Structure 1
């Protein structure tokens, strides 16, 4: 029963983050700090040794660093709408999961969800030619941006959703 408590807490916080991200396209620092604080409180309940805790810290820092690099590249090239909240959220998820079986389950589910999201965005982009696709845009915000004489459709995506769903899958399937 004690081992179930941290999973429930983590899942609840992930669901809160997911709802906030869908509604506002933001992942506030307070949610990320709650996840980190809950990890600190739940680490003894999970019976993590000092070595395990250090591995969890390294995994969180590594995931944060990797997504920070991706977000920086996206910001410099204007190609990927990945924000700072997503980066911090991923770091907090890495902190919880550590490097091992749950982390690999997380990466597998994240890749599956990202492929689905990319397919969804492609369908959204095609919706200009195929208006029947437009009602499917409930989770992707669309802005029509005019650059000179060219009008483009820009999708704003809550990346916290696939991150949270993959972390929930990793938590309960590991």
Structure 2
């Protein structure tokens, strides 16, 4: 049961966040709450001791501190900051967190360039009838939840919880 939770909860929440951000430019708070709550419940059963769980919480606090500053400077949206923080707790304070953040940065750069290109081609897209979410063309924001999800998918296999799940399957 714990292995199923590890394999399903994190990817499912990221998928939901990515699609809602793409279509509505918002990320539901419940996604971040579920990610944090599920980690707290699953981590001890996955074999993480209190010290390791503490390092995961510390990773989330560190990411939150940086995201809060970016939010205060109006560089990052609140939903993106919460999702990044809630995702960071699943990686912990180790190299998998760095990999996650690097992947998010790479995918975020690609996403930003793609969205800016689409917005520049708005008239052509609308005239041709290509189905593109309207907010993607008109909003002044980038749906960074998509980049966070893609970064999470890319880095998740190296996360401590996935490593624990692989170990239990072996």
- TM-score, structure 1 normalization: 0.77
Residue in 2 that maps onto 1:15: 15
Distance (Å, rounded) in 2 between the aligned partners of 1:48 and 1:156? 38
Gaps of 5+ in 2: 160-170
SS of structure 2 residue aligned to 1:96: coil
| Contact 1:140-1:158 at 8 Å conserved across structures | no
| Contact 1:6-1:45 at 8 Å conserved across structures | no
Deviations 1:61-101 (A, max 9, x none): 11111111111112xxxxx4x32111111110111111212
Equivalent in 86, 89, 92 of residue 98 of structure 1: 92
The alpha-carbon deviation at position 156 of structure 1 amounts to: 2.4
Q: Aligned pair count?
A: 156
Deviations 1:79-136 (A, max 9, x none): x4x32111111110111111212212212211211221232244235437xx547759
Superposition pairs of residues 12-51 of structure 1, within 5 angstroms: 12-51=12-51
Residue in 2 that maps onto 1:77: none
Superposition pairs of residues 98-137 of structure 1, within 5 angstroms: 98-127=92-121, 132=124
Distance (Å, rounded) in 2 between the aligned partners of 1:173 and 1:164? 15
Give me the CA root mean square deviation: 2.4
In terms of fraction of residues, the more helix-rich structure is 2
SS of structure 1 residue aligned to 2:137: strand
Higher relative contact order, chain-length normalized (CA < 8 Å, sep 6+): 2
Distance (Å, rounded) in 1 between the aligned partners of 2:91 and 2:82? 14
SS of structure 2 residue aligned to 1:97: coil
| Contact 1:123-1:133 at 8 Å conserved across structures | no
Residue in 1 that maps onto 2:78: 84
Residue in 2 that maps onto 1:164: 149
Q: Which runs of 4+ in 1 moved over 4 A?
A: 1-4, 131-140
